[in-house]
Structures are given as C-alpha cells and as structure tokens.
Amino acid sequence: MNRVKPPVAIEVSDILNLARLAMSRVDVQPLFWYFKWKNRPILGYLSSIPYWYGNLPIFAYTKFDGELKSYIAYMSVEKEEVLLTNSNDDNRYIYGAIIETEDKPPFITEALSGRNMLKEKPILIKAGNINSLIRMLIILSDTNSSPPLWYFEFKGKHVIGLMAPFFDYYDANALPVFFYVESDAKPPASFIRYISLKSGEEISYVPCISDMKYFYGRIVNVKSMPFFTSLGLGHRK
C-alpha cells in the first residue's frame, strides 16, 4: 500500500473558529473528523487549496473537551453562535456532520506530530493596508464562498493574511501568494465589513453578518500558521 502524504496541520483557537472556517457555504455540508490523539480529543476539518504543483491539503483542527454529538451547528447572521447537537432540523443553523474514527488516522496524526513541515513556502507580500487585502478577498470570492482571513501573532505583531492562488504560472499549477497586513492590535471582532461608495470605501469590524448590502470577510484565529514562518521570510516583499 502506498504511503499517504500527510496534510499541513493548522491549529485554530477554538471550535467557533473551526466552524467559521469550514461553514461559510450554505450549499455544502462539511465533514468534521473526531478522534483522540495523545489522550486529547481532536475535532478537525480537511480541505485543500491550489498550491504550486498540485493542491495542498490542510487539516484545520482544535482540541475539544466537550461532549461529543452528531453535528456542529453554526450561524453567523444577526449573531454568531456554534453548538454541538444530535439533530439538524433547526433551519436557523447550517450543519456539519461529525465522523468519529475508531483509530487515529495515521496520515493526519503525522501532520499533528509536526514531522510534516511545509517545505515549499508561498510568496509573502505585505499589503499596503487592510482595504487592499479586502479588495483582493472580493476578487477571490463568489456568490457561495470566500477564502478565510487568517489571523495570528508573529514576533509581537498581529497579522491578518489571505492566500491567493495565481493559476498556470509557468509550469506551476498555481503560484501561491500570501498577502498580509501587520498591526499592533488584535482585530476587535470576527468579521470585516466593507462597502465601496462614491464617497469612498467604508470598512469596519463587526461581530456577525447583518446588513447584506456589505461584503463580509471572516477572520479565523489560528495558533499556528505554517505559511508565515521564519523559513519563508526570504520571500517577504
């Protein structure tokens, strides 16, 4: 049997951030993995992004100490809330099924152990301001989904970043570029609200999605960010 390459593991801050990452689309129900690793229950979400010469699988996860149930229920309109439930019949929420595995998935636990370092880094580009970052996010979004805005701390700075693939770059499937901004303060809320008017751009941080005339970017708090490490700083521009 061929060895299965492990994904890249990204630890998010909590189950709310995991749901915010995985459950941005109303037309797709995500699958959440549940298993125990080093005697700690793990909840995670496996996805992929176009990256250099193929796709890069990402396992976003959080350590979970609550009572296991069948679904994660999440809402972000008018208020943001996440809960675990055994039913999926409340249409106020969108749902993701939780699949419990009897054994630890070895290709995922290899990623969690830290042995699978991200060898090929993205190109790191510092954006001039948060408005430029949101304009890039709008370009990468469609009516059903948009990429996450990753938030993390790095060397005393608060960083918000966005992965943008530029397809068919020479012989690469996609050139991955990580655009980011730095600040001295943590984002005050989980969503960035944006609108462009004749009078100029308006941007603010809000706790949930409300007025649909605005565009909303969702911020996902992570404890680790392999796209932005000291090994990749040679590409910073």
Do 73 and 170 reside in the same domain of the chain?
no
Residue 229 has pLDDT above 90, yes or no: no
Do 12 and 106 reside in the same domain of the chain?
yes
How confident is the prediction for the chain on average, in pLDDT? 92
Do 145 and 230 reside in the same domain of the chain?
yes
Write the pLDDT tens digit of every residue in 129-163.
999 999 999 999 988 889 999 999 999 999 999 99
- Is residue 160 domain-resident? yes
Do 206 and 134 reside in the same domain of the chain?
yes
- Is residue 3 domain-resident? no
- Is residue 1 domain-resident? no
Residue 94 burial (10 A CB sphere; 0-12, 13-18, 19+): buried
Q: How confident is the model at residue 231 (pLDDT cuts 50, 70, 90)?
A: very low
pLDDT of residue 116: 57
- What mean pLDDT is predicted for residues 40-48? 96
Integer-rounded Cα Rg, in Å, for the chain is 18
- What mean pLDDT is predicted for residues 164-185? 96
Of the ranges 21-35, 128-142, 207-221, which one carries the lowest mean pLDDT score?
A: 21-35
Residue 107 has pLDDT above 80, yes or no: yes
Structural domains of the chain, count: 2
Do 73 and 153 reside in the same domain of the chain?
no
Q: CA-CA distance, 7 to 48, in Å (whole number)?
A: 9
- Is residue 72 domain-resident? yes
Q: CA-CA distance, 140 to 79, in Å (whole number)?
A: 25
Identify the CA nearest to 111 among candidates 153, 56, 68.
56
Please state whether beta strands 31-37 and 94-100 pair in parallel, antiparallel, or not at all (unpaired).
Answer: parallel
Last residue of a domain, one of 112, 141, 167: 112
Last residue of a domain, one of 58, 89, 112: 112
- Domain boundaries, position 184: 123-235
Do 101 and 129 reside in the same domain of the chain?
no
- Is residue 97 domain-resident? yes
- Is residue 117 domain-resident? no
Do 228 and 129 reside in the same domain of the chain?
yes
- Is residue 2 domain-resident? no
Do 106 and 154 reside in the same domain of the chain?
no
Amino acid letter, 181: V
Do 160 and 97 reside in the same domain of the chain?
no
pTM: 0.92
- Is residue 49 domain-resident? yes
Last residue of a domain, one of 54, 84, 112: 112
Do 102 and 19 reside in the same domain of the chain?
yes
Do 83 and 149 reside in the same domain of the chain?
no
Do 106 and 26 reside in the same domain of the chain?
yes
